[in-house]
Structure 1
Amino acid sequence: MSKETKNPAYPWASGGWGSLKSVVRILTQEKVALKDSTILLRQNKPDGYMCVSCSWAKPASPHTFEFCESGAKATAWDTTAKRVTSDFFRAYTVRELLTWHDHDLEEAGRLTEPLRYDASTDRYVPVSWEHAFEEIGRELRAIDPGRAVFYTSGRASLETSYMLQLFARMYGTNNLPDSSNMCHESTSVGLKEAIGVGVGTISLEDFEKTDLMFFFGQNTGTNSPRMLHQLEEARKRGVPIITFNPLKEPGLISFVNPQSPSKMLTPAETQISTQYHQVKTGGDTAAILGICKAVIDADDQAVRDGRPRVLDVNFIDEHTKGFDEFARYARETGWVDIEQVSGLSRDALEAAATEYAKANAVMVHYGMGLTQHRMGVQNVRMLCNLLLLRGNIGKPGAGPSPVRGHSNVQGQRTVGITEKPELAPLDKLAAQFSFEPPREKGMNIVEVFEAMVKGDVRAVINLGGNLVRSVPDRGQTEPAWSRLHMTVNIATKLNRSHLVHGEVSYILPCLSRIEIDRQAGGEQAVSMEDSTACIHGSKGVIEPAGPHVRSEPFIIAGIAKATLQERSTVDWDAWRDDYSRVRAAIAETYPETFYDFDARMWTPGGFPRPMPARERKWQTKSGKAEFMVTEALGEDPDMPEREPGALRLMTLRTDSQFNTTIYNHDDRFRGIKGTRMVLLMNRADMAQRELHEGDRVTLETIADDGIERKVRGLSVVPYDIPAGCIGGYYPECNPLLPLWHYAKESKVPGAKSIPVRVTAVERMSAV
């Protein structure tokens, strides 16, 4: 691959020496002793612990080093030698800590004892676990259950998630939002409507059988680097990989396997993408429609010429509904409109279509670049349209592949974490535990914060998240959080959500899944589900951060017992002491998925969930896979008319980041050092505004709701990004995202498509 195709800020392949140096740096930074760094050899192994960062699949026959740079950083972050004790909180008031950068808060170290906020001193002070559970339970009993919220981060295990959803429903609410609400809810809705299951259909074995892969809006090199091993093997077989992404990302351009001595010691690298198309932000539906149109046109020509069909007409006739309407729409949509909205030429889209038409088995990988849009559900449905045209769902080597960025975000839904009562087995739970679950819909994340701004939420149980930083519209939502009556944060490290506290506020320190979990019933293990819908066991391998740190199941059991008291039919103490009892309850609730749970969770490679769409059984309203006609080609048909000079902002993560956790201020792949307050901008857009590299600008959201949303002090960095599109870091740019700017149907915040303007410029010397 020529150098011109690479990002000049980082003109090397992903992986390689850069990755190794980054791992050594984080181990040194966190004071992880050399002998302790060997725990990485137990990461993602059948008898070890599952990575605490992304949820990419754990193979049955793992590499010796079955971890990536991102996973090593997450492990180092959790196994740090640094500690936050009561002495720390005696030294700093909450007001003082609020001035710290988010990185510095977490960098202070692991939390070691339960804490309660003391308003008289503006400090967190140690309390006993018994006191914490008693007061939290008493406060929850005094609150209308409809005004309490139980949030779950994707780091929670299946056992913890099942316990929390049961506790919340026994308490009387379906307010069970989770991190899916902010990322892949568009997948859960879109795939469910199209093919009857809300998750992807591929397995690791499909990589060995595929003929072509597409990527849309997913940065593998930063967010799921272990996946590069499968891509490397596929490329060795000559499998084309076609990428659609607004930015050139090194992980999707080329890769040097840091586990291969021959590649590390030579200039050898693996070209990943054979075609790389820089689609405009928000132009994905148009790009996918262009490919579909080209394929349908080629099929029409084949019919006219008497040649074999390009479409899989037998599959379409037997297994799908709505093809004729979609084909008519594709034929009638003009290339001029497709090119204008997608930012791509007809030739580029036809080149992708040509490869697609030649391939027998095709998989499509995608991430939040597709789902975090106003039309996010439509984007997912369009991918299904593309796959259905040639029967690429329900056969080896083919299917949709949403790549989840959080370790068990998919699994917690499998065991009942959902605000939608129709998706939870309420009748089964009612019979199993002799109570009447609430039947009214609960609140998702956006709805929670909408209600919070209005003053309609009183308490939040925050299991593992940093909601104050991760949610949109910080100028509205952060003050609302501080007005809550009670906030309970279950966490390994200090973060902003603990400091923007409620009237009654607790920080409850929990074990990382890397740590040995000892209960009265002996050492415990937990389980989680990966992106390919396989379920794995996970067992901690190092000593806990301190004697007063407790497991997530222990904490949930303690709060549930103190809150529900005699109302509960669950022996929470027994579940706390022996997680196999929780797994037995899960298996009773979901027998088709979790039979022989205790034994099967240690199956190398995990055991798969039943997946009807893999067998071409469509659990949709029509009983068939469904094509759809899009509402509009553009990203925001119902937004106010975009003014001249408007830009579309997409928020990004760095290679030194996991969600809101910031490991350091550099972004190696994009050539950024020492700061996160940057704005990646096309040179033509800079010239149009007479901006120079290093100028500091203010961005303001374009909206007509009367609320001012600004982020100041962003340094301009010229970057290879389509004209009219800009990039800024998450969560620094979250204040620009209106709470109401979310995906239709799924309510995923539209963080990849925020209309903004440049309102102020401070001239600076070049960076």
Structure 2
Amino acid sequence: MRQKAKIETYDAPAGGWGSLNAVMHILTQEEVAVLGSEILLKQNKPGGFMCVSCSWAKPAEPRPFEFCENGAKATAWEITGKTVTPEFFAQHTLSELRSWSDHQLEELGRLTHPMRYDPASDKYVPVDWSEAFREIGRELNKLDPRSVIMYTSGRASLEASYMYQLFGRMYGTNNFPDSSNMCHETTSVALPPVIGSPVGTVLLGDFDHTDCIFFFGHNTTTNAPRMLHPLQEAAQRGVPIITFNPLRERGLERFVNPQSPVQMIAGGTRISSQYHQVRLGGDAAAILGICKWVIEADDRASKDGGPRLVDVDFLVQHTSGFDAFAAFCRDQDWSEIERASGLARSAMREAANTYMAANAVIANYGMGVTQHKHGVETAKMIVNLLLLRGNIGKPGAGISPIRGHSNVQGQRTVGISEKTRLVPLDKLAELYAFEPPRWDGLSTVDACEGILKGDVGGFVSLGGNFVRAIPEQSLMEPAWSGLRLSVQIATKLNRSHIVPAEVTYLLPCLGRIEIDEQQSGAQAVSMEDSTACIHGSRGQRRPVARDALSEPAIIAGLAKATLKPNPKVDWDAWVADYSRVREAIERTYPDQFKDYNKRMFEPGGFPRPLAARERKWKTPNGKANFTVPKSAFAPPQGTDGVYELMTMRADGQFNTTIYTEDDRFRGIQGSRYVVLMNSVDMEMDGLKPGDTVTLVTEAGDGVERSLSELQVVPYDIPRRTIAGYYPECNGLIPLWHYAEGSKVPAAKSVPVRLFKDVIPEMIEGGEVPISTG
């Protein structure tokens, strides 16, 4: 039986004393209270280190404490003095470790020594770096490069990412799935055909000039908490902030700045002026309702000879497709829009009227948009909304997809992509005198399908926790043993490391916060934030483990052991001085990284040039394009007893990293195995708070996917919607259940049935468990 969660109401705002207490707790827990306090002062500062957590923008004029609660947790997690040594692995089999929780595994501390899996003892045993490189190179050269996956998490620096993709392509593979495939690939697919850019157009300074802010499907409280500072400043100026989200997330309701003594005493700021609890998958319909109201109001104004409510000059000069989109909006029935969005017409009218009164509007969105079956069309609908009034390409306005990991966007910029059209292969061929493969590689979903079919022979992972992050875990973990080779480059132990292939290596790397001493001295690295600005980062503490190598050094070691010598690539020189890697990046992408080494420590970062910010549209027709959605309406919910499950993150985690089993803002302590339900649904299904249930995926494909012993918690959530934690609920997501066009797992809307768990006393008493729903 799983431990029951303790449920207590938590009414405090985001930030404030709760945040300060959480920071002190994590520093104490990781035994770095003094060291951590010193190092945190250098976080997100020019000349300091860039946060290893989220990718939110860094200001040119940082606050005294330019970190958030989750950023402090990530820092403490990395600089912990706790270590996982060869002696630990000698005492524990991998079979035993697979029974440990995600939190227990990572809480052990930093990996210290390269290890090789020994199948005979089911344990990791130490290995020298030279032997590890030699054996991995030998194994890679036995495999068909097409069968090898080279995965990256979103933390690896631009320098390491560039070296990694070059190594892979010189080896002969284009299989470069990364964590983008699991979160914001939807953005990269949706935006290029409509605005000509795969990333957002907003800079941090735009928040100082905006007069209206929209949010769609984002939990800012836990996923980008530093963003609450510009939001609070905007709210205090009277800027309306309009939020669409199924759950009421605390940071988008109220925020207390822990750096303000006045606020700590007097209380915080209301953030959202409107908060609309849209149904799962209903964002596109809600946006359609807003657009319909704007267009019909403009029709009336045009008929009456009044001021137009759409930006006619912008539409004529810069856009295509407005007439077709406007006709589509006019034709939609309000009753269907209300059903699909879960909102009243009056709510959408209120949002539309606020939008029309604003001159500069920012639209932010997160995985609540991208991780839906129709996520690509929803992102395009957000663009439609902005284009109506010219809200792209002017100060204080634009589209702002909020990315997750600290360099997940930047990795794509320097070549980590399975899509060859996004990589300058001809330039790589010219610079390094080799012929790169020209076939498109495998995305994350494709890689999983290949592993299940037995077509994948090797998997090299630069960070991350792939096995835990992906869907279909009940099938994927057993299939992992069919791999010939698994190479895991990591700072801490996680689930992916204890599910071995035939040949498995665990290679410890330095973290970004550690001083990286190489031949030319201490090195700096760089990364790209959500606003496409590049930041330099310098390590601040001595490495925890003497035998841990930097990511560039490990990549170079693997490359030299695998590839034939190439006079155009001096791997040793690149490791000796990372500025040479940056020079290579600038040669490869001269328009994006001009004067790279000189500019990397510019306060606030230096922005990559994005044509859409200047209203230059790199689309086939040279215009920003309205699109008519094919599937604006989500299907009816609760059909035939089926619930829609959304996965969510807790206050005590960042992606698959679990800092604590608690979720402070939702009042849940001591367990992550819970399911949030609407109290009316609970009553109709005969459930009480504290009952446990089993979720079973409604898929119809013959695969059984279920998760048991989930404690029912009443919560303010739309009817026929339930919520559970990621990654615990990932096993309920079919591999084929993904966003159309981007293959991002549709983790925010999974059809499931819910059954009350069988209790031994019920069986003894002759009672029958209730199938609810």
* TM-score > 0.5, shorter chain as reference: yes
Aligned-pair distance for 1:642? 6.9
Aligned-pair distance for 1:237? 1.0
Residue by residue over 1:352-372, the C-alpha shift from the partner in whole angstroms, topping out at 9 and shown as x without a partner, is 000000000000011000000
Contact 1:382 1:628 in 2 (8 A): yes
- Work out which of the residue numbers 704, 709, 717 in structure 2 matches 1:713: 709
Which residue number in structure 2 is paired with residue 662 of structure 1? Answer: 658
Contact 2:175 2:442 in 1 (8 A): yes
What SS class does the counterpart of residue 12 from structure 2 fall into?
coil
AA of the residue aligned to 1:750: A
AA of the residue aligned to 2:706: K
Aligned counterparts of 1:121 and 1:654: Cα–Cα separation in 2: 37
Contact 1:111 1:509 in 2 (8 A): yes
Which residue number in structure 2 is paired with residue 540 of structure 1? Answer: 539
Residue by residue over 1:459-485, the C-alpha shift from the partner in whole angstroms, topping out at 9 and shown as x without a partner, is 010111101100001111111222211
Alignment of 1:568-579 (within 5 A): 569-579=568-578
Aligned-pair distance for 1:33? 3.6
Which residue number in structure 2 is paired with residue 296 of structure 1? Answer: 295
Aligned-pair distance for 1:10? 2.3
Percent identity (aligned): 62
Aligned counterparts of 1:626 and 1:225: Cα–Cα separation in 2: 33
Contact 1:32 1:80 in 2 (8 A): yes
Aligned-pair distance for 1:169? 0.6
RMSD: 1.4
What SS class does the counterpart of residue 644 from structure 2 fall into?
strand
Which residue number in structure 2 is paired with residue 435 of structure 1? Answer: 434
Alignment of 1:87-486 (within 5 A): 87-266=87-266, 268-486=267-485
AA of the residue aligned to 1:593: Q
Alignment of 1:67-82 (within 5 A): 67-82=67-82
Contact 1:54 1:406 in 2 (8 A): yes
Which residue number in structure 2 is paired with residue 42 of structure 1? Answer: 42
Residue by residue over 1:472-510, the C-alpha shift from the partner in whole angstroms, topping out at 9 and shown as x without a partner, is 011111112222111000000001101101100000000
Aligned counterparts of 2:624 and 2:317: Cα–Cα separation in 1: 10
Aligned counterparts of 2:618 and 2:464: Cα–Cα separation in 1: 33
What SS class does the counterpart of residue 210 from structure 1 fall into?
coil
The range that moved more, 446-455 or 118-127, is 118-127
Which residue number in structure 1 is paired with residue 601 of structure 2? Answer: 602
Aligned counterparts of 1:132 and 1:567: Cα–Cα separation in 2: 22
Residue by residue over 1:196-217, the C-alpha shift from the partner in whole angstroms, topping out at 9 and shown as x without a partner, is 0010100111011101000000
Residue by residue over 1:226-272, the C-alpha shift from the partner in whole angstroms, topping out at 9 and shown as x without a partner, is 01110111111110000000001100001000010111122x21000
Residue by residue over 1:512-535, the C-alpha shift from the partner in whole angstroms, topping out at 9 and shown as x without a partner, is 100000011211010000011000
Contact 2:151 2:177 in 1 (8 A): yes
Which residue number in structure 2 is paired with residue 24 of structure 1? Answer: 24
Which residue number in structure 1 is paired with residue 679 of structure 2? Answer: 683
Aligned-pair distance for 1:570? 1.1
Aligned counterparts of 1:182 and 1:523: Cα–Cα separation in 2: 34
Aligned counterparts of 1:760 and 1:270: Cα–Cα separation in 2: 41
What SS class does the counterpart of residue 723 from structure 2 fall into?
strand
Q: Does 1:673 align with 2:669?
A: yes
TM-score normalised by structure 1 residue count: 0.97
Which residue number in structure 2 is paired with residue 728 of structure 1? Answer: 724
Aligned counterparts of 2:652 and 2:630: Cα–Cα separation in 1: 38
Which residue number in structure 1 is paired with residue 3 of structure 2? Answer: none
Which residue number in structure 1 is paired with residue 553 of structure 2? Answer: 554
Aligned counterparts of 2:626 and 2:402: Cα–Cα separation in 1: 22
AA of the residue aligned to 1:464: G
What SS class does the counterpart of residue 665 from structure 2 fall into?
helix
Q: Does 1:749 align with 2:745?
A: yes
Aligned counterparts of 1:568 and 1:560: Cα–Cα separation in 2: 13
Aligned-pair distance for 1:763? 6.7
Contact 1:481 1:502 in 2 (8 A): yes
Alignment of 1:646-661 (within 5 A): 646-661=642-657
Aligned counterparts of 1:344 and 1:97: Cα–Cα separation in 2: 47
Residue by residue over 1:307-362, the C-alpha shift from the partner in whole angstroms, topping out at 9 and shown as x without a partner, is 10000011111111111111111000100010001100000000000000000000
Aligned-pair distance for 1:305? 1.5
The range that moved more, 563-572 or 237-246, is 563-572
What SS class does the counterpart of residue 689 from structure 2 fall into?
coil
Residue by residue over 1:182-208, the C-alpha shift from the partner in whole angstroms, topping out at 9 and shown as x without a partner, is 000000111112100010100111011
AA of the residue aligned to 1:284: D
AA of the residue aligned to 1:63: R
Contact 1:694 1:764 in 2 (8 A): no
What SS class does the counterpart of residue 475 from structure 2 fall into?
helix
Contact 2:27 2:36 in 1 (8 A): no
AA of the residue aligned to 1:522: G
What SS class does the counterpart of residue 592 from structure 2 fall into?
helix
Contact 1:80 1:109 in 2 (8 A): yes
Contact 1:695 1:764 in 2 (8 A): no
Which residue number in structure 2 is paired with residue 4 of structure 1? Answer: none
Aligned-pair distance for 1:731? 0.5
Aligned counterparts of 2:502 and 2:342: Cα–Cα separation in 1: 50
Contact 1:10 1:250 in 2 (8 A): no
Runs of 4 or more consecutive aligned structure 1 residues displaced over 3 Å after TM superposition: 760-765
The range that moved more, 478-487 or 504-513, is 478-487
Aligned-pair distance for 1:569? 3.5
AA of the residue aligned to 2:34: L
Aligned counterparts of 1:393 and 1:466: Cα–Cα separation in 2: 36
Contact 1:183 1:748 in 2 (8 A): yes
Residue by residue over 1:685-738, the C-alpha shift from the partner in whole angstroms, topping out at 9 and shown as x without a partner, is 111211111110000111111111100010000000000111000011001100
AA of the residue aligned to 1:104: Q
What SS class does the counterpart of residue 296 from structure 1 fall into?
helix
Aligned counterparts of 1:451 and 1:313: Cα–Cα separation in 2: 50
Aligned-pair distance for 1:764? 11
Contact 1:695 1:762 in 2 (8 A): no
Contact 1:681 1:716 in 2 (8 A): yes
Contact 2:691 2:711 in 1 (8 A): yes
TM-score normalised by structure 2 residue count: 0.96
Residue by residue over 1:33-65, the C-alpha shift from the partner in whole angstroms, topping out at 9 and shown as x without a partner, is 414421000000010000000001111100010
AA of the residue aligned to 2:534: I
Aligned-pair distance for 1:748? 0.3
Which residue number in structure 1 is paired with residue 4 of structure 2? Answer: none
Contact 1:696 1:764 in 2 (8 A): no
Aligned counterparts of 2:112 and 2:496: Cα–Cα separation in 1: 17
Residues 568/631 of structure 1: CA separation in 2 closer, same or farther (3 Å cut): farther
Aligned-pair distance for 1:456? 0.3
Aligned counterparts of 2:119 and 2:632: Cα–Cα separation in 1: 53
Residue by residue over 1:623-657, the C-alpha shift from the partner in whole angstroms, topping out at 9 and shown as x without a partner, is 100111111123469xxx97411110000000100
Which residue number in structure 1 is paired with residue 734 of structure 2? Answer: 738
Aligned counterparts of 1:290 and 1:568: Cα–Cα separation in 2: 60
Which residue number in structure 1 is paired with residue 765 of structure 2? Answer: none
Residue by residue over 1:525-576, the C-alpha shift from the partner in whole angstroms, topping out at 9 and shown as x without a partner, is 1000001100000000000011101100000010011100235741111111
* Total equivalences in the alignment: 755
Contact 1:695 1:763 in 2 (8 A): no
Aligned counterparts of 1:219 and 1:119: Cα–Cα separation in 2: 42
Contact 1:561 1:568 in 2 (8 A): no
Aligned counterparts of 1:506 and 1:287: Cα–Cα separation in 2: 49
